[in-house]
Amino acid sequence: MIDETLERVAQVPVPATADALREAVEMPPPSLDRDSVARHPLAAGAEETFGLAAEDGRLVRRPPISFADGLVVLAETTDLLPERCVARLKAVLEAGNQAALPSGEPVFPFRLHQFLASGGSVHATIEPPDRRILSMQGQVYAGGAGGAEPRTLFPLAFCRDCGKEYYLAGLLREGETPALVPRSPLLNATGEDEGEPGYFALEQDGLWSEDEDLPDNWLDPRTGSIKERYRPHLPKRLFVAPDGLLGAEGAPDVVGRWWQPRPLLLCPRCRASYDRRETSDFRKLVTLSQTGRSTATTILGAGAILGLRGDDGVPAEAQKLLSFTDNRQDASLQAGHLNDFTLVVLVRGALVAGARPDAGTLA
């Protein structure tokens, strides 16, 4: 087993009382050399807060906390203004970053960490796109402006072929007024939701009409009429208010209009169709939290490189991304995914460029 032995950089005791810590904050910042930083009591406090902890008589690495969390502790302990504390703490850390140890490493090296979680589903109110509220918090209601009634937030899913958004909802037909209610953001969740589970799509740019041509597999080849097992899955007109209640066409704040029960068998935007036996909607739709890790890593990496290329302050030879992994299989999988992604993007880019009116003839 390989272990490590840690030593303190600070050569003075950690301030043990609130008065001692307050005095350390009020002291002038250290000079930009190792000895000045090591003998500053606020540097000793910062090393204790962010770096080291005692465990069984030995020094170990303290679980990491953010600068903001450490600043809160400092301000609450000293009872000083946060503005005063942040200025002095930054000055000490910046001095430590410029002061060097005998090994050449900074006394307080800056290490930037960003944990990228998959995120949750995006939720939206049933309103026109220019007015609807979008939220990643997953709450059920969004407050109304100017004392207006709160509006209901529904989770969204997106067609894997064209990206058309669908509200995940349950249709309640019982009661005085039928309504749409939010359902679970998990596409195939069962037993938890109210009403008939399904999907609601806003009418945009002639999304659908009731005289549209239907997919061939939906029609009886002998009569040309729609097969009975597909009839319930035809998009149906609905008009919904922001609170989810169904209303009449033309009523104030009511929007429309297409409702489809689960499982989704037809995308009104791109006309992607599915067989009635395909009861799972996972391969048809995607939520914001269902992106694969390889895809997410590839897109983040490509975004970082594009960001570097747009920054004039970064030299061309430095515009690169370095990735570390402790697993050879993961590294191989990610490299293959990145290469495949690059090839697909290049091919699609070439097709778009070749389809432009000014592209000329293909050689």
pLDDT tens digits, one per residue of 99-131: 988 888 888 887 766 667 766 789 999 988 888
- Decide if pLDDT at 254 tops 90: no
Final residue belonging to a domain, choices 267, 289, 311: 289
User: Given this model, what pLDDT does residue 14 score?
Assistant: 92
Q: pLDDT by residue (tens digit) across 43-56?
A: 999 999 988 888 88
Q: pLDDT by residue (tens digit) across 65-86?
A: 888 899 999 999 999 998 999 9
User: Given this model, what pLDDT does residue 293 score?
Assistant: 78
The number of residues making up the chain comes to 363
- Decide if pLDDT at 183 tops 70: yes
Number of domains in the chain: 3
Final residue belonging to a domain, choices 230, 255, 289: 289
Is the residue at 114 inside a domain? no
pLDDT-derived band at 194, boundaries 50, 70, 90: confident
pLDDT-derived band at 233, boundaries 50, 70, 90: very high
- Decide if pLDDT at 318 tops 60: yes
- Decide if pLDDT at 39 tops 70: yes
214 and 170 part of one domain: yes
In angstroms, the CA 151 to CA 225 distance is: 40
Average pLDDT over residues 251-265: 87
79 and 30 part of one domain: yes
User: Given this model, what pLDDT does residue 148 score?
Assistant: 59
150 and 207 part of one domain: yes
Is the residue at 11 inside a domain? no
Tokens at 54, concatenated: 């005692």
In angstroms, the CA 141 to CA 131 distance is: 15
* Domain enclosing residue 269, as ranges: 123-289
Greater confidence (273 vs 146) lies with 273
Is the residue at 352 inside a domain? yes
Write down the mean pLDDT value for the chain.
86
User: Given this model, what pLDDT does residue 155 score?
Assistant: 92
In angstroms, the CA 21 to CA 335 distance is: 50
User: Given this model, what pLDDT does residue 306 score?
Assistant: 85
Final residue belonging to a domain, choices 41, 65, 98: 98
272 and 301 part of one domain: no
230 and 259 part of one domain: yes
343 and 198 part of one domain: no
User: Given this model, what pLDDT does residue 105 score?
Assistant: 86
- Decide if pLDDT at 198 tops 70: yes
